[in-house]
Amino acid sequence: MNNKCNIIFVTGGVLSSLGKGITAASVATILKHSGYKTTMLKIDPYLNVDPGTMSPLEHGEVFVTDDGAETDLDLGHYERFLNTNLGKKNNITTGQIYSAVIKKERQGKYLGQTIQVIPHIVDEIKTAIYKASKGFEFLIVELGGTVGDIEGAPFLEAVREIIFENDRHQTMNIHVTLVPFLKAAGELKTKPTQHSVQELRRIGIQPHMLVCRCEKNLPEQLKKKLAFSCDVPIDAVIQAKDAKTIYAVPMEFLQDGIFEPLAKHFKLDKTRPDMAKWSLLVENLLKPRQKLKLAFVGKYLKLKEAYKSLLEAISHSGAKHSVKVEIVWCDSEDIEKVGASEILGECDCVLVAGGFGDRGIQGKIEAIKYARTNDIPYLGICLGMQLAIVEYLQNVVGVKDATSVEFDENTKEPAIYLIEQFISTTGEQQFRTTKSPLGGTMRLGAYDFTAKDGTILAKAYKEKKQSERHRHRYEVNPVYKDRLQKAGMIVSAHSGKLIEAVEIPSHNWFVAVQFHPEFTSSLEYPNPIIDEFIKAGLDGK
C-alpha cells in the first residue's frame, strides 16, 4: 500500500509522563513551520470509547473539538501548538476500535470469518491511521502508554505493519525515553533506554530517533553509546531537558539538531522552520514585563490538569502582552467557609470556570457577587455563566430561589434548565432528559453565535458571527431574560434561540459566556474574549 502522507509514530519507553504529547506536538510544529501540511493523531489504548465520562481527577481535562468529539487533553496541546482544528478522526481509543469491529461483525460484514485481533482489530486501527493522514504531507501519531503494555500491543502491531508496507523514507519511529541521573553514581544512565528499545525491536519496530528525557545535558559520548547500542544515527539522539515552558520545547529540539535527521530521513526539500514569531512569544513567557493576579475559582483544584486548556489560554494572552499571570487558586468550598473578600481580596480579576455538580456552588456564587459589587473584572465560563445569572437573579432581580435544575431538580425557579430537544452540530435533532445516559448527551462542539453591537463580546470578536465550542447539559431559561435585562444584565449573544453570553454594561468589565473559549486559543492566536479579560485585569491595576 502506498500512502502519500509521511507518518511519524511517537512511542514511549521506560515510564509514562515523559512528555510524548509535547514531543509529538513540537515535532509537528517544526514541520508545519517548515512549510509542510501537518496533522496529528492520538491513540489512547484504554477501553473507554472516549474520555467524556471519566472524572477530571482521573484523566485531567476532557478536550472538545469543533465537531463535538470529547478527546484526550493531548489534542488540546496539538491544536494549541499547530493552531489548527482537529476532530473525531484525530483521537482513537481501544473502545472505539473494538466497538467498530463488533458492530461490523453483528452486521455480518465479515461473514464466515473468525474475528481476531490480527488481522481484524489491527486492520481497523490501520484504517483509522490512514484516514487521519488523508490530505496531509505529515501525520504525527502519538501512541499513549509505554512500550510493553498489554493494551498497546495491537497498536504497535499496526505501527509495525504500516512501517513495513510503506517506503522506508515515508515512515519514522521516534522513541521517547528516560535517561535518569543517578545521584549516588553521579551519572546519567542509558540502560533503561537500551532495554526499552530492545522491547520495541522484539515487537519488530526499529526506532529512527531517540528523544531522551534527562535532567542534565546529554554528553556527546552518551549520545554515541545510545546510538551504537540502539542502532540509531548519532545525530538522531536528541536530548529533552525539562523546559521552563512547553512552548520552548520546539526551540530546544531545534537547538539540539532535530531538523537535520528529519530532513535526511524524509528527504525534505524545504528549508529550516521559520520560528521568529514563536520564539518572541516564548521569550515573553520566560521574561514577562508585567504582572497580574488572577483569582481562579474552581473545585478540582487538586488536579490542575482538569483546567489545562484554560490555563494555557491564559498564558497565551500573557505571552502576547508580556504579562506573568499569577494564578491564585481559590477553592470554592474555602470561600464558603471564610468569605470571598478574604480569599479574593488581593486579585486583579476573577474567573469562575466550568464545572459539574452542586459541590462548592455557594462559594462560586459569593465569588461572583464579590467581583460584581466591587467592580472587579469578571469572566464566567459555562457554569461560571450559569451561576452569574443565578447570582444576579437572586441578589439584584429579587428571585430569591433562582437556581439551576442541576442542583435542584424540582425547583420552582429554574433559571438554568434542561432543554429536551436541540439540534446538534451535525444538524440532527437530539433528545435528552434527566434520565438520559451521561455518555455523549451534552451539547458538544462548535456552535455559531451572533454578538450584539456595542458589547464587549462584539468588540473582542470583531466579526459579529463567530463560533465557539460547548460542553454542557443545561441552558439559560429565556423566561428570565426580560427581568434580567430590565435589571441591568444584558444578553450580549445568542446561539440560535439559546442565550450564549451576558454582560453588565454598568460594571467595569463583567462578561459571562456559555461556551468554552479556552478550547480555541493557541500560542500564536490567543482567544479574543480571554485576551480582553486579561487586558481588563491589566487596565484596572
Determine the residue type at 99. S
189 contacts ligand GLN (rule: CB under 6 A): no
Measured from the CB atom, is 68 or 207 closer to ligand GLN?
68
- What does DSSP assign to residue 516? B
Nearer to ligand GLN, 75 or 210 (CB): 75
* 212 classed as catalytic: no
Minimum Å gap between C-beta 387 and ligand GLN is: 9
**Sole binder of ligand GLN in the list 356, 378, 515, 533 (CB under 6 A):** 356
Question: Can residue 447 be called a binding residue for ligand GLN (CB under 6 A)?
Answer: no
CB of 172 to ligand GLN, least distance (A): 38
Grid cell at residue 388: 452569574
Q: Residue 193 is placed in which grid cell?
A: 533506554
Question: Which span sits near ligand GLN by CB under 6 A: 38-46, 328-336, 368-376, 470-478?
Answer: 470-478
Q: End-to-end distance of the chain based on CA atoms, in angstroms?
A: 61
Which CB sits closer to ligand GLN, 140 or 310? Answer: 310
Selected binder of ligand GLN within 471, 484, 491, 538 (CB under 6 A): 471
469 contributes a contact to ligand GLN by CB under 6 A = no
**Near ligand GLN by CB under 6 A: residue from 382, 489, 499, 538:** 382
For ligand GLN, the closer of residues 259 and 407 by Cβ is 407
| Residue 299 binds ligand GLN (CB under 6 A) | no
Per CB under 6 A, does 354 bind ligand GLN?
yes
What minimum distance in Å lies between the beta carbon of 442 and ligand GLN? 7
- The answer to whether residue 144 forms part of the interface with ligand GLN (CB under 6 A) is no
Among 175, 316, 472, 535, binds ligand GLN (CB under 6 A): 472
Give 524's contacts (C-beta < 8 A, 6+ positions apart). Answer: 83, 277, 278, 281
Q: Is 420 a catalytic residue?
A: no
Q: Is 168 exposed, middle or buried (0-12, 13-18, 19+ CB in 10 A)?
A: exposed
Q: Which of 406, 475, 518, 532 is catalytic?
A: 518
For residues 360 and 295, what is the distance between their CA atoms, to the nearest angstrom?
16
- For ligand GLN, the closer CB: 208 or 471: 471
Kindly provide the residue ranges of all beta strands, DSSP E only, lying in 215-364, ordered along the sequence. Answer: 237-241, 290-298, 323-331, 349-352
Q: Are 301 and 351 in contact (CB under 8 A)?
A: no
Q: Binding ligand GLN by CB under 6 A: which of 225, 473, 481, 483?
A: 473
C-alpha to C-alpha distance for 412 and 480, rounded to whole angstroms? 13
Query: Closest separation between CB of residue 70 and ligand GLN, Å?
Result: 11
Q: What share of the chain is helix, strand, coil (3-state, %, to 5)?
A: 40, 25, 35
Question: At how many degrees (to 10) do helices 308-321 and 276-286 cross?
Answer: 100
Please pick, from the candidates 79, 366, 406, 531, the single residue that binds ligand GLN as defined by CB under 6 A: 406
Check if the beta carbon of residue 173 is closer than 8 Å to that of residue 160: no
- Using an 8 Å Cβ cutoff, are 243 and 274 in contact? no
Residue type, 479: V
Q: Which is nearer to ligand GLN, 98 or 417 (CB)?
A: 417
Question: How far is Cα 483 from Cα 413, in angstroms, rounded to an integer?
Answer: 13
Helix (H) or strand (E) holding 43: strand 38-44
Single-letter amino acid code for the residue at 223: K
Euclidean distance between CA atoms 101 and 113, whole angstroms: 12
Residue of 142, 347, 382, 532 marked catalytic:
382
Is the CB of residue 419 less than 8 Å from the CB of residue 478?
Answer: no
Whole-number minimum distance, CB 473 to ligand GLN, in Å?
Answer: 4
The CA dihedral of 202, 208, 213, 215, to the nearest 10 degrees, is: 120
Considering Cα of 405, then 409, then 414, then 417, what sign does the dihedral take? positive
Residue whose beta carbon is closest to ligand GLN: 354
From 175-183, 252-260, 348-356, 505-513, span contacting ligand GLN (CB under 6 A): 348-356
Least distance in Å: CB of 456 to ligand GLN?
20
C-alpha cell at 245: 515552558
Tell me the three cell numbers of residue 372.
Answer: 460584581
307 binds ligand GLN (CB under 6 A): no
Nearest distance from residue 191's CB to ligand GLN, in Å?
Answer: 46
Binds ligand GLN (CB under 6 A): choice among 383, 389, 399, 456: 383
- Please choose, out of 139-147, 323-331, 468-476, 487-495, the segment that lies near ligand GLN by the rule CB under 6 A: 468-476
Sign of CA dihedral 294, 297, 300, 301: positive
Is 518 one of the catalytic residues?
Answer: yes
Identity of the residue, 32 or 472, whose beta carbon is nearer to ligand GLN in the bound complex: 472
Grid cell, residue 239, equals 536530548
Which of the residues are catalytic?
382, 516, 518
Question: Which parts of this chain interact with ligand GLN (CB under 6 A)?
Answer: 354-356, 382-383, 406, 471-474
